[in-house]
Amino acid sequence: MAELTYDLLMDDSSYMGSDRARIENKVILDELERKKKARSMAVPTDDNKVKARLREIGEPITLFGERAADRRDRLIYVLSQINAARGDDAMQVDEESSEDSEEEVEEFYSPGTLELLEARRRLAEFSLPRAQKRVAQQRIDSKVPLGRIIDIRKRVFADVKTFTNLGSQIGDDRPISLVRFAPNNEILATASWSGSVKLWNVPSCTPIRTLRGHADRVGGVAWHPQATLSQSPDAVNLVSGAGDTFVHLWSLNSEIPLSVLKGHQDRICRVAFHPSGNYVGSASFDTTWRLWDVNTSQELLLQEGHSKEVYTVEFQDDGALVGSAGLDAIGRVWDMRTGRTAMVLDGHVEGILSMAFSPNGYQIATGASDDTIRIWDMRSLKALYTIPAHLNNVSDVRFFRSDGTIPAHLALPQAAPDVPMNGVDSEAEKDTPSPEKDGSATPAPPLTLEQEKENLEQEWRYRPGLYMASAGYDGVVKVWSADDWQLLTTLQTDGSKVMSVDLSSDAKMLVSGTYNRNFQLFSPASAM
């Protein structure tokens, strides 16, 4: 399969020239024309007149749970449908109602820079091949037999349920606000309200370096996607944001920042690296989130859209979408290639404190102050499931994701060489009755080493996104299955508010950071 690129998509005439495409385009254009005409209709604003008009055209005057504004929108929709069926340019309504019509609300655009336009093009070129690869793998996974999927779930969940406390360490003088594993899973970054970011060796929990530069509490920290792997230690490996309104870019060899990004007008809560490593997103209490160019340290985009403080920002793995959410209890998914809103996450009743994209590319988990985790499906544009997760605020949610390399503790052991027996059977073999002799059923033949290796690779490919972890102010970390959203295990910390949680990409560790200035490491039995 040829790799899908931006230019190839723009030049592809096979789809646009098909009858199906023409029919689909006509339906879309007709719908847009109907909506345009509907906006120009003069419709009563008085609720009694709206009900009378609905009764006149034979529609129910009210529906269960319908508000006055919804009723007026329904009237506009019904009138526009009648108008389209008749082919009239406009439908006449009462003259007196036209005087009360509201002003037409038009879509508006904010001017952008040429740098932003070029960035959007690069984002499209980066995300299209990744999305194509992900969808191709999902098509392969969809053909896996149900029995095999059940077997994989049992093995993975049985391993997850064995998480036990590996150790605890005092991380700072003030509460630990965020914890994140490095891509190589050998370094842990902790952010603190003291204004510092610390790097630790794990699982030994010995300090490496303290990154000082912020003058207020650090709320967000994130690793470059290639940090500790192919990225040079002298280049940008880490980003942090704090209450001093600044975003800092860090290397691994210096305790002072490589660059300071200025622009926010209030406290910065969360930061995130784009999967390409070329861009950084930051969420702030100034009701905006911003996109920064790592290479030039310039602000590319100031995005409004929230009515209150923006608390979290997160990028999808493909790199095409970014999610933002805040204390207005609303989340938004933005298409970075066009700047449009792709989905509105409206359902929480209190502020959203955390957000995570599933590795499958179309599901999102949000944790909020209403003590719940909501699962959203971007295909149906609605909430899929609500988990009553914690007894107090859900401060962090993280899906398990891997880099595709099978870790050593899960890899198959090397096969032992055959030992020549000189044609003499052992005493144990002589005493063991054969299935044919004792009349029992013939057992299934054992799997070959190649078959076991293939099964292990299949299990590891299927594992990302199969479970997730959540942190709550009730003092516990919980691990959930990410297909039926059931609780797998509950991990006790030091009893104080759990501010953050993270899962290592090699499935060996889970870390939590708490208000009591500690961080705790947990590990499954398979990694012991």
What is d(CA 464, CA 478) in angstroms, rounded to the nearest whole number?
17
Q: Strand, coil or helix: what is 437?
A: helix
Q: Is the pLDDT of residue 440 over 60?
A: no
What is d(CA 274, CA 301) in angstroms, rounded to the nearest whole number?
14
Higher pLDDT, 333 or 84: 333
Q: Give pLDDT tens digits for 104-143.
A: 445 556 678 999 999 999 999 999 999 999 999 999 999 9
pLDDT at residue number 429: 45
Q: Is the pLDDT of residue 519 over 50?
A: yes
Q: Give pLDDT tens digits for 383-419.
A: 999 999 999 999 999 999 988 778 777 766 554 444 4
Q: Is the pLDDT of residue 439 over 60?
A: no
Taking only Cα atoms into account, the Rg of the chain, rounded to an integer number of angstroms, comes to 28
pLDDT at residue number 10: 62
> pLDDT tier at 421 (50, 70, 90 boundaries)?
very low
pLDDT at residue number 109: 66
- DSSP letters for 223-259: E-TTTTTTS-TTS--EEEEETTSEEEEE-SS-SS-SE
Q: Give pLDDT tens digits for 2-16.
A: 677 766 666 665 555
Cα 279 versus chain centre, distance = 17
Amino acid identity for residue 144 in this structure = V
Give the position of tokens 């990410």. 482
Q: Is the pLDDT of residue 371 over 80?
A: yes
Work out the average pLDDT over 354-373: 96
pLDDT at residue number 419: 47
Work out the average pLDDT over 226-244: 95
Tell me how far CA of residue 15 lies from CA of 23, 25, 29, in angstroms.
Answer: 12, 11, 17
Percentages helix, strand, coil for the chain (3-state, rounded to 5) are 25, 30, 45
Give the position of tokens 């999927």. 149
Of 205, 160, 168, 241, the closest CA to residue 512 belongs to 168
What is d(CA 67, CA 52) in angstroms, rounded to the nearest whole number?
15
What is d(CA 511, CA 351) in angstroms, rounded to the nearest whole number?
24
What is d(CA 443, CA 427) in angstroms, rounded to the nearest whole number?
22
Averaged pLDDT score across all residues of the chain: 86
> pLDDT tier at 444 (50, 70, 90 boundaries)?
low
The alpha helices in 278-425, defined as continuous H runs, are none
Q: Is the pLDDT of residue 528 over 80?
A: no
Q: Which residues contact 63 (CB under 8 A, 6 or more apart)?
A: 70, 71, 74
